[in-house]
Amino acid sequence: MNNLVKTEFPTWEPPKDWTIPDGFIDISWHNDTCPSFANLELSCVLWIDFENKDDREIDFGRFMLWTDCIDSEGCYLDLEKLEDNHFLTDNPNEVLDRIKSLVKTRSNTDE
């Protein structure tokens, strides 16, 4: 993980015994509510909020995976049209399973 998340969210800690999945780059920005990581190949953004719910600005779950939301250069698409393209959970394994499913779907599409 690069230092962008530490610059933008100095009190945030990554989930214990868990790493940001391969292919995701840190795109955290201090105007957002929590750190975020993009995967340009999968066209998705993974938001990881603070562990303590009292530290969250919005409690949508610790993990939010927003799919089909960025282009190949990392620019956000029309987010209002993507309202249904997100997965919310507090369980890190559930979000990893969803990412694995995206990888599998994209691999099948590329064949």
The answer to whether the CB of 21 falls within 8 A of the CB of 46 is yes
- Whether 23 and 9 have beta carbons less than 8 Å apart is answered as no
CB-based contact 44:72 (threshold 8 Å):
no
pTM, two decimals, is 0.84
Confidence of residue 5 (pLDDT cuts 50, 70, 90): very high
Whole-number mean pLDDT of the chain?
84
CB neighbours of residue 43 within 10 Å: 19
**Which residues does residue 76 pair with via DSSP β-bridges, in sequence order?**
70
Residue type at 7 in one-letter notation? T
Query: Looking at residues 78-99, what average pLDDT do you find?
Result: 82
